[in-house]
Amino acid sequence: MGRTVYSPEYCLQYLEQYASKEIFVIGLILGQTTSARENVIHLARTPDEKSSESASETSYPLDKPESKTLDSVSEAWVADHAKHVTRMLPGGLFVQGIFITSDEDIFEDPNCFSKVKSIINNVYKAMSANQYMYGNCPYTNERLILHMSNSTKVLTCKSIEVGSGTKNTVIKPVEWKFLPKAQQWQRLDCYYEFDDVYPVVVKKSGISVKQQFQQILESAHKTIETSIMFIDGELKDNAEVLEQLFKKKKSKTSSKTSQQELPKSMNVSLFVPFENALPEAVEYLECDGSIHFSGVVSSSVFMFPKATVSETIASVKQDIIRSLASRFTMHCDALIDDNLLPEEKVCFNEPPRRVLVPVGSLYLCDYLFPGEAPAEALLSVRELLDLQITEADVVCDVETPADTSEFDALDRDASSEELLATPQEASQFMYITGICFAMFVLIVSIIIHYYDSIVEILSKILAKS
């Protein structure tokens, strides 16, 4: 049985929009692969690459695409676009391939197809560089290539395997079906709280913020992977289907809602098993400081209703780790000084917070730094997803800005320490005070012991005078 992909009808209109202008366009295919079905949610045009003189590597122009060909496309530029877009995808959604509108027949022309394979493999390698971004779909190594001819408007989709290392690439036909109605998605919301303290050990080579964040990410990944997920407060069988869970719940409550209607959202809770056994060997380190990592990650995952519980669990866990990895990368890229131990005794770092942006019938995400307005998200959506939305469409209340009151208190305490004596000064102060007190006791004791003699001597002195 051949591979079948389903997508909303507006994706066809999107392709025809560019093909009708008879211009070359390349972009990314975004979607979700489950055991039940493969769904495409959006097609995002890759922006034109600016020259190094006018823009940095990661700046995306907003101008209309200029006339170009497949040979002029930079593989690294498309891969960079894929990395930025992956940060905006909730868990369970991936870059599934690329689409092209052109005059050339990319499947018949050997040079064109060789270029397409190079682009696909470069995207795969770029996504593999950071395992915590979950850039590559774990369920399949095949990537989609969708082509629309500018002249005939004929649509062709095929798939090739990536990462195999074989020279002979197997090309498989793919049937692409457009859905006239909007696809239903099951939303799952989770709020995962972090409140951990990590030691900072500075070696000869030093340590940077990026290195320490990587250690935090590794620890968080291990913790979340071992956690147990509850859906609506209940532990579910991994083989069960999301849609079936709602039908069971509905039959118990005798709801009057339609059988086809899905709940707006399901609540997810992650519980970390308690490890009651101590390790055989405990390593003691002399720390130079500590990092208090605290906050709540908001996770909103959208799954195909016929997806299994095990696929849903994996998507929720992917979303939390991908979100952390995205924030840490963006935060480190924005730092002027990567030194972990600044001159100040207390340093406060606030990575960007998550906001939701609508794409069709579901939501993707973006990240805003402290002080940034929702309008900043509009720019990212337009540049990276080729979408036009309004500021009112951005959902900004899924995560609140960080509370800095505790940090302010710590900062005040740190500054007041300068007015206090150091431990060595304090011990010297106590030592000197002890000697003075002992001398005072000795003098009083002598006076009491020789009191009568002293009184007699004073009386004789006064009598003579």
Q: Are 66 and 111 in contact (CB under 8 A)?
A: no
pTM above threshold 0.85: no
Query: What angle do helix axes 375-385 and 75-87 make, rounded to 10 degrees?
Result: 140
Flag whether pLDDT at 44 surpasses 60.
yes
Flag whether pLDDT at 29 surpasses 90.
yes
Give pLDDT, residue 163. 79
Flag whether pLDDT at 54 surpasses 80.
no
Average pLDDT of the chain is 82
Secondary structure letter of residue 129 according to DSSP: T
Lowest mean pLDDT among 150-159, 384-393, 423-432: 423-432
**Of residues 375 and 401, which shows the higher confidence score?**
375
Q: Are 127 and 135 in contact (CB under 8 A)?
A: yes
CA distance 317 to 28: 24
Alpha helices in 280-308, H assignment, sequence order:
none
Mean pLDDT of 266-291: 76
Give pLDDT, residue 258. 45
3-class secondary structure per residue, 227-241? CEEEECCECCCCCCE
CA distance 365 to 41: 14
**Of residues 416 and 13, which shows the higher confidence score?**
13
Give pLDDT, residue 371. 87
- The model's pLDDT over 281-332, given as tens digits with 9 standing for 90+, comes to 666 667 777 888 888 999 999 999 999 999 999 999 999 999 999 999 998 8
Q: Categorize the per-residue pLDDT at 408 as very low, low, confident or very high, splitting at 50, 70 and 90.
A: low
CA distance 167 to 171: 12
Secondary structure letter of residue 424 according to DSSP: H
Percent of the chain with pLDDT over 90: 52
Domains belonging to the chain, first-starting first, are 3-179 (3.40.140.10), 186-374+395-416 (no CATH)
Give pLDDT, residue 273. 81
Q: Closest Cα partner for 34 from 367, 320, 314? A: 314
- Residue 459, classed as helix, strand or coil, is helix
Flag whether pLDDT at 59 surpasses 60.
no
Lowest mean pLDDT among 62-66, 106-110, 237-241: 62-66
